[in-house]
Structure 1
Amino acid sequence: MATVVAASHGPGRRTLQGVDKRTTKDAAVTAYATGDGLHYANTQINAWIDGGWTATGTLRYYDGTTRSAPNDKSVEVAFCADSGKFFGKEIKTQKILKTKPSIEDFDYFKIVMVKFPTNEGLWQASKVFVETRAEKCRSGHDASLRRAVVELVLRERCTVHRQRI
């Protein structure tokens, strides 16, 4: 399942690669998406191109889950995205289009991944569903941050403890 989870984030990164390269024809975009998933990627890329923007900042994915289909040929991957530190940038002026933090920063994705017909290890996004303004992701984001802080504190304590020995 870890391979599928990593692959599911691939379409998002590949879409951003298409935004950066200013084309929907990039091989990475077409390799990691098919059908409705490819249509979604193309729509997103074209919106950025038509707006005259590129992307800058950090787009954070978290709280991923997977669910296998009975036929073992597809997997649904769901996760949250936090775009609070991710912005558009006007290409002509290089102006960064910053926004204030809000519920608009949180999206919940469900992506149906299918095995690529000729490569057993490759998965493609075949359908993409996005819930915008996802309150569950804002709430989950806070919990994820708390978990990260606890993990960091525990790691630091373990490091300090090991140094004392």
Structure 2
Amino acid sequence: MNRRTLPALTALATATALLLTACGGESSEADEKIPGAGESSAEASASPSEKVPTAADKLDRPEMNFPDDFKITFDWEKPSDPDGAAALGDAENYVKAIHYGIIKQDPESAAYKFYIEPMSQAHTYAKDQIQQYVDGGWSLMGELRNSNAKVKKGQAAQTQVVTFCRDESKAFGKDIKTGKKVDGGGENPNDSHYAVTLVMRESKSIDGYWKAVSIDGVKGAAECV
């Protein structure tokens, strides 16, 4: 088990640790990297313009409340581009929903299903991650921090590529029965940091509603350490 293993990137099982890259789902955006300085992208630090209401604002979204001993933060502002801002917002919701499913111990949680394209790689990944925690008897504790988000148009129609850094150094697994932190190996501090890529596609029928298609990540990525 990894001392600094955090939900949804690596599972806590000793023999079946599941990295983002192990999902195997292919996408036209699978090799997208976090844009560096000088690349064309809508950075999340940009000041958002006045938001124009969309059909997505009227959606009855699933409510997700977390216990006091677990916190997930997104340290960024939305980009000024409306599509980029909406895609980033629903990418956040997808990430939160996976962890909510783990907290609730529900591999069929309606929360993550609200933010995925059915039968997509992002769907399989979310369900598998939650199932591994359920099978292991683990929940979550500590703080999962996400930062340095960037958004750019994808190659496929109606897609946006969301990239960000993920810091798992202060988040841990929690034994469901004892309530104690699951601890163990993992001596390299860089293993707690990931560069994450999410491909989001806008709903064909609801303007401003984005769903996850695929998720990928690189452990110890230089831009996120």
TM range (shorter): 0.7 to 0.9
- The code of the aligned residue for 1:109 comes to V
Say which SS state the counterpart of residue 136 (structure 1) adopts: helix
Is 1:3 aligned to residue 82 of structure 2? no
Post-superposition CA distance 1:44-93 (Å, at most 9, x none):
11111111100111111111111103665100000000011111000011
- The CA deviation at 1:6 is 1.9
| Correspondence for 1:65 | 150
Aligned length: 138
| Correspondence for 2:125 | 40
Query: 1:104, 1:43 → 2: CA distance?
Result: 21
Query: 2:181, 2:156 → 1: CA distance?
Result: 46
More helix by share: 1
Cα contact 1:84–1:101 (8 A) shared by 2: no
Cα contact 2:121–2:215 (8 A) shared by 1: yes
Larger Rg: 1
Query: 2:217, 2:155 → 1: CA distance?
Result: 23
Say which SS state the counterpart of residue 89 (structure 2) adopts: helix
Post-superposition CA distance 1:3-42 (Å, at most 9, x none):
2112112111100011011112211110101211111111
| Correspondence for 1:111 | 198
Cα contact 2:151–2:160 (8 A) shared by 1: yes
Query: How high is the TM-score relative to the length of structure 2?
Result: 0.57
Higher relative contact order (CA 8 A, sep 6+): 2
Query: 1:80, 1:98 → 2: CA distance?
Result: 23
Is 1:79 aligned to residue 164 of structure 2? yes
> Gaps (5+ residues) in structure 2?
1-83
Is 1:21 aligned to residue 104 of structure 2? yes
Query: 1:83, 1:54 → 2: CA distance?
Result: 15
> Gaps (5+ residues) in structure 1?
139-165
| Correspondence for 1:121 | 208
Query: 2:145, 2:116 → 1: CA distance?
Result: 20
Query: 1:101, 1:6 → 2: CA distance?
Result: 32
Query: 2:87, 2:208 → 1: CA distance?
Result: 9
Q: Which runs of 4+ in 1 moved over 3 A?
A: 98-101
| Percent identity for Structure 1 against Structure 2 | 26
Query: How high is the TM-score relative to the length of structure 1?
Result: 0.77
